Amino acid sequence: MSRNQELFDRSQHLIPGGVNSPVRAFGAVGGTPRFFQRGEGPKVFDADGKGYIDYVCSWGPLLHGHAHPEVLAAVHGTMKNGLSFGAPTGLELEMAELLCSLMPSIEQVRLVSSGTEATMSAIRLARGFTGRSRILKFDGCYHGHGDALLVKAGSGALTFGQPSSGGVPAEVAALTSVVPYNDLDALKEAFASYGNELAAVIVEPIAGNMNFVLPLPGYLQALRTLCSEHSVVLIFDEVMTGFRVALGGVQSLYGVKPDLTTLGKVIGGGLPVAAFGGRRDIMACLAPLGPVYQAGTLSGNPVALSAGLATLRLAMAEGFHEALGDKTREVTEGIAARGNAAGFPMCAVSVGGMFGLYFRASLPNNLVEVMESDRDTFNRFFHAMLNEGIYLAPSAFEAGFVSAAHSSSDILNTLDAAERAFKAIQQ
């Protein structure tokens, strides 16, 4: 028995499903999840000692690959002075200054420990600021596991939400409305019906949780206009995309200024850091200045902030995101080309260091079209690539990530592995 299998068997006795986050269980693709022991640059190594070129990158934070020496040095330099104080540190100010300078829509920022904490706090803040209760989200966008956000669409294009998880009261879900992503008519209908009831609209400006779906031209701009007309707080969830697709996030690429932004992943460099921030008048509603309460013992943890600051500063090098984008396009377009040549309809899309691979002929614009992808072929391809030493996200509905540590040789090896994998699943 492999060491991975042994660890998984034992874990299932003590940890629900054997994992501490559901997608890690390989439930969508089948088989045994890999238990990783170490990472180095673009590679991870499992409990059996096998190495893999990694295109998950801890689901996005590892912009510079695993165990980058400058990030590790920053962590070591901070931790020798103590791990946590539960009191302010200068590193919190350094991070706040950096985030506000890189994203001009953020005038003030509050640090937290997870993306879920950031989004649920942003929603509470928007409700406190507006005095309204209803929020609007988009089908297929994920914003963490807060009750108000674990809501799926009901029947029809314009719907009140239904719980997508056990333990979410119907009364809570009823305050969340859901429309399809990229459907401008449905969006306009929602605002016409109850725009004056909305506290906030929360959106992944590029959707990264139904694989990787770009907004249609003009969609984000129309959303900004509708929110402004109805005095609704527009929240961009850039927990995944922030500093991954561009130094200024999606909002810098599309020229749309949200009222609040949520961040995470990259700003922790692999350690738990997240944030929410935006307009000064909205942020002034937070305690201790205002009536909206939010707190966290480990918020602004100095060790985690040192990793995030080092990660962001490395990403500020001239041409960094352009070079990262070139690498990402090379690997994803190369895989899609080899898939099509082997008789498997495929397409790919990428921005900066994030990408989507689809087993379908054309790029999807919403969740319904994403679901039309050939999941069975993806699952077989996933395992064939795993056998070749390539670690992709274990689900057809997750975005992928490339790091600056991925070399030309790594990309060439990945494309050669893909060619062999497609031949293997043809049989």
Encode burial over 305-337: b for 16+ CB neighbours within 10 A, e otherwise.
bbbbbbbbebbeeeebbeebbebbbbbbbbbbe
Q: Which member of 54, 237, 259, 410 is catalytic?
A: 237
Q: Which pLDDT value is given to residue 161?
A: 63
Tokens 């390539």 sit at which residue?
Answer: 390
Q: How far apart are CA 423 and CA 380, in angstroms?
A: 11
For all residues of the chain together, what is the average pLDDT? 95
152 catalytic per annotation: no
Strand 198-203 and strand 233-237: pairing?
parallel
The DSSP annotation for 25-70 comes to G-TTT-SPPP-EEEEEBTEEEETTS-EEEESSGGGTT-TT-BT-HH
Between the alpha carbon of residue 196 and those of residues 133, 192, 225, 235, 318, the distances in Å are 11, 9, 14, 17, 44
Q: Which pLDDT value is given to residue 172?
A: 82
Q: Which member of 43, 137, 254, 265 is catalytic?
A: 265
Q: Which pLDDT value is given to residue 148?
A: 82
* Tens-digit pLDDT profile for residues 288-321: 999 999 999 999 999 999 999 999 999 999 999 9
Mean pLDDT across 90-116: 98
* Tens-digit pLDDT profile for residues 154-211: 444 445 567 778 888 888 888 899 999 999 999 999 999 999 999 999 999 999 999 9
Q: Where are the beta strands (DSSP E) in 215-292?
A: 233-237, 260-263, 274-278
Q: Which pLDDT value is given to residue 247?
A: 97
* Tens-digit pLDDT profile for residues 201-257: 999 999 999 999 999 999 999 999 999 999 999 999 999 999 999 999 999 999 999
* Tens-digit pLDDT profile for residues 351-400: 999 999 999 999 999 999 999 999 999 999 999 999 999 999 999 999 99
CB 34 within 8 A of CB 391: yes
Q: Which member of 52, 55, 142, 358 is catalytic?
A: 142
User: Nearest-CA neighbor of 167 among 184, 148, 182, 180?
Assistant: 148
Q: How far apart are CA 301 and CA 284, in angstroms?
A: 22
Query: 154 φ, ψ to 5°?
Result: -85, -155
Between the alpha carbon of residue 378 and those of residues 345, 381, 411, the distances in Å are 11, 5, 20
Mean pLDDT across 273-295: 97
- Domains belonging to the chain, first-starting first, are 3-67+319-426 (3.90.1150.10), 69-315 (3.40.640.10)
52 catalytic per annotation: no
| In the predicted structure, residue 427 carries a pLDDT above the cut 80 | no
142 catalytic per annotation: yes
Mean pLDDT across 26-46: 96
Q: How far apart are CA 267 and CA 256, in angstroms?
A: 21
**Model's pTM, two decimal places?**
0.95
